[in-house]
Amino acid sequence: MRFSLISPTFDRPEEVQEFILSVSKINYSQDSFEVILADGTPGDTLRPIIEQESKKCNLPIRVIHEEYLPVSNARNAAAEIAHGEYLIFFDSDCIIPRDYLNEIDNGLRASSWEVFGGPDAAPPEFSALQKAISFSMTSFWTTGGIRGGRISTSKYYPRGFNMGVKKDIFIKMKGFDTDFKTGEDVELSIRLVNAKYKVGLISKAFVFHKRRSTLLGFYKQVRRFGGARWHLSRKHEGQLKLTHMFPVFLIFFLLLSFLLVLNNLIYPLSVGVFYFLIPFILSGIKNKSLVVGIFSIITTFVMMLGYAFGFLEALFGGRAHKRRG
């Protein structure tokens, strides 16, 4: 078995059906990969839907179920029973392109990565809001390319929405840290990089990532990411850089600018307006849509605000980020 494709699931039957359907269309020998879903849905109510879709798509799927199974525990449990030489982890809200595994194979032949990842993208059928969220999360202007862009301001750390690792290495490293509620994928990547394994980006092996479909859901997600960054920096020395603090600086700058406007000082606010004008232009051109460009202003602000709030919340001892035993 070449690859084990693993995803944690929790309810959300429609996105799981879309995930299964996309995997069934992968242009790769089904004898060379397997699919394992580790599900935490209460009452095991997702299993009949998975089995129905599996039969419909003629795609064998192995299911692990435990009520309220956390993400890290789910991935670790699936890895234990996996048969593949490589484990590839996805989020259940990902849609996998037909040539994905071929691109992985090409990347492995070219560079012999032991640990690898790929970017995420938004296909034409995504809503305007989903495309705007995708831009805000992946653009060099907004996140510095740290999620798999071609240009990056830091070392590349694969993320759990599209992350592969040799199974023997994963087992040796004891998998994901189950104490982390969010950021467990980056935490594992940091350990793998520090252990000197060969880690790299396969830029053509992208997935379509739906993420959250509402601004409130997106805000809650990036708020957790902000908290995770602080806790990652506490566990791993050198993991907090000025670039990670940018959302905090930006929000404080906007707040100060607003206060200065009340005193008839317009210039600082104009600088802040310029920053958010760039996503409007870049995303609008990329997606060929004025609406997506406008949404990208909003999603970029929501992302910066949520991340900054989550970071400060963790910094000053707010809501616990790590699971309690």
- Rounded distance between C-alpha atoms, residue 179 and residue 280, angstroms: 38
- Residue 322 has a pLDDT of 46
- Residue 117 has a pLDDT of 96
Query: Which SS3 state, helix, strand or coil, does residue 302 take?
Result: helix
Query: Which SS3 state, helix, strand or coil, does residue 81 take?
Result: helix
- pTM for this entry: 0.88
* Rounded mean pLDDT, 196-223: 91
Q: Which two tokens stand for residue 77?
A: 């449990």
Angle, alpha carbons 77-78-81 (nearest 5°) = 95
Of the two residues 84 and 321, the one the predictor is more confident about is 84
Please give the single-letter amino acid code of residue 86. Y
Q: Which two tokens stand for residue 321?
A: 């980020």
Tens of pLDDT, residues 39-69: 999 999 999 999 999 999 999 999 999 999 9
Lowest mean pLDDT among 42-51, 115-124, 145-154, 312-321: 145-154
Cβ-based neighbours of 269, under 8 Å, separated by 6 or more:
254, 257, 258, 260, 261
Domain boundaries, the chain: 3-213, 231-315
DSSP string covering 200-222: EE-TT--EEE---SSHHHHHHHH
- Residue 266 has a pLDDT of 58
- Rounded distance between C-alpha atoms, residue 142 and residue 68, angstroms: 33
- Rounded distance between C-alpha atoms, residue 79 and residue 62, angstroms: 12
Query: Which SS3 state, helix, strand or coil, does residue 304 take?
Result: helix
Tens of pLDDT, residues 149-177: 544 445 789 999 999 999 999 999 999 99
Fold of 3-213: Spore Coat Polysaccharide Biosynthesis Protein SpsA; Chain A (3.90.550)
Cβ-based neighbours of 49, under 8 Å, separated by 6 or more:
13, 16, 17
Q: Is the pLDDT of residue 263 over 80?
A: no
* Helix residue ranges per DSSP H, the chain: 13-24, 47-57, 71-81, 100-111, 128-138, 140-143, 167-172, 184-194, 215-235, 242-261, 267-287, 290-315
